[in-house]
Amino acid sequence: MTMRVLSVRGALPKHRHRQEEITAAFTATLGDGVDRAVVERFHRNMCVETRHTVLPLHEYARPGDFGRSNDVFIRAGVELGARAVVDALKDVGLTPADVDYIVSCTVTGLAVPSLEARVAAEIGLRPDVVRLPLVGLGCVAGAAGVARLDDLLRGRPDGVAVLMSVELCSLTLQRDDASVANLVAAGLFGDGAAAVVAVGREHPLARSDDPARPEVLASRSRLYPDSERMMGWDVGSGGLRIVLDASVPDLVRRHLGDDVRGFLADHGLTRDDVRWYVAHPGGPKVLEALQEALAVGRDALRPTWDSLRRIGNLSSASVLHVLADTLAERPPPPGSHGLMLAMGPGFCSELVLLRAPGGER
């Protein structure tokens, strides 16, 4: 064990809508250029009941402007990210002044200085805090960010590190795009933030035997060749336009099973040793493909399906919300191994091997 996760907290915007409301508002922005029945069918198939947005729904009907949307991204992103970080630190009796490293991840807006620098000034992080912004990893960044915390704390075993994810997907809405990718994205993605607080193995708080404070044992990154156009953004005058290939579930079926088997084998484990999963809610078809790749039933990914239903896909923040829900509502058995996994632009995946404290080693 090189790192202990102490706390995971999510933060959501105050505007919460049923899927049907979002579908109606979205189709109104597209006007007569789209078959509303098709949009409604796509959105029903997402298995999403409610989502949160950073703006009231009626404001998305205004003509799009990348600059104005990005200003909202920065303002609201700092507020949500700061709230998630402060709540996660308070959860374990720490303050912003205790933080040695902060890693931030986002893919739904641009900020220079980056979001964690702005949050540092807002909440009072130390002037010597080490910052690492991760931009462009998309949905995989929640799991990758946890892995990077582990990398940092290997070199500072008495340190405190924070991961902050902020994703405001609604601000990337393309009001003139009737492509299947945009229709799917409009029914799947939501807004939110999350934060993880972790400590190195020599920190006093690492000695807890609470199974809701898992150890990180190892991680593995995987970049798949010739898959750059599977997922991502095209950047134009109207902002960020979704790239989302329908063959993503096939790629998951083709690669994830072998990747997981190889990763576990390198640590003397098999899939039978994994008692709990923390998976990113990429969408119903991706989750079904993941279940096939892992040879597990739907219940093994129940927290992920539940998160998808309640808040949609929050890009990098989603897997962290799933982790928070898992630790709060379904604490893993002491001594059990868990696997966090996510996929994202590249196309790539990230695997993180977890272990609940307690039990026999």
The angle at the Cα of 101, spanning 316 to 348, to the nearest 5 degrees, equals 30
Among candidate residues 105, 139, 169, 348, the one labeled active-site is 139
Residue 73 tokens, joined: 């991204």
Taking CA atoms, 55 is separated from 38, 127, 144, 237, 322, in Å, by 25, 33, 28, 21, 24
Is 139 assigned a catalytic role?
yes
Cross-sheet strand order for the sheet of 3-11: 130-135, 101-106, 160-168, 191-200, 3-11, 215-223, 348-355, 337-344, 274-279
Q: Nearest-CA neighbor of 91 among 324, 337, 307, 334?
A: 324
Neighbours of 32 (CB within 10 A): 6
Angle between helices 248-265 and 284-294 in degrees, nearest 10: 40
Distance CA 119, CA 117 (A): 5
Active site residues: 139
